[in-house]
Amino acid sequence: MLKRLFDFIAALSALLLLSPVIAIVAWKIRKNLGSPVLFRQVRPGKEGKPFEMVKFRTMRDANDEEGKPLPDEQRMTPFGNWLRSTSLDELPELWNVVKGDMSLVGPRPLLMEYLPLYSKEQYRRHEVRPGVTGWAQINGRNALSWEDKFKLDVWYVDHQTFWLDIKILFLTVKKVLVRDGISAEGEATMTRFEGSGGSTNDK
């Protein structure tokens, strides 16, 4: 109850206070990348239930001869990299927090297609609402291996407290200022998750 109340008040307040920044970023995206300004994608929430996550678009539209999107590194622009390094692309997710789809702190919402690839232990990251930031984000972000990231997510599930959330939020601001762990080595963002050593989820 306390976590949800804090999430709602803090996210709504942040949306109001940051509305000028959000408007400027939206205008810059429209100017640099065109429409749409927002990137929408269905992601798994608490207990794996799908919801539509919204964030600012960071990549240009570019497809190969078969009409399939080009790899991330070919679609990413310097402007998009800047948006990600400053985490400004995450600001619209505050609306997901207000709606109750997400929390300010929790495991990051990944792709729906990853759900059957998790081990039973890894799937436990879905016992809580996904977060705008989380324990894995302040301990390496995309520079972590998938296995290490999931271990940190499950650690958070087992140890979450209100004061741990406050600590994570504080350290997130520090991480954003330093711009550390934005992408995996040799990747524009993060390599795709292919499963962990053959472990599968029974769900």
Residue 197 lies in a domain: no
Residue 88 lies in a domain: yes
Residue 96 lies in a domain: yes
Residue 124 lies in a domain: yes
What pLDDT score was predicted for residue 28? 94
Residue 200 lies in a domain: no
Q: How many domains does the chain have?
A: 1
> What's the pLDDT tens digit per position in 30-64?
998 888 999 999 999 999 999 999 999 988 775 55
33-37, 68-72, 102-106, range with greatest mean pLDDT: 102-106
Residue 198 lies in a domain: no
Residue 43 lies in a domain: yes
Q: Which two tokens stand for residue 16?
A: 């109001």
Q: Which residue has the higher pLDDT, 148 or 75?
A: 148
Per the structure, the complete domain to which residue 131 belongs is given by 2-178
> What's the pLDDT tens digit per position in 192-201?
888 875 444 5
Q: Which residue has the higher pLDDT, 126 or 199?
A: 126
Residue 185 lies in a domain: no
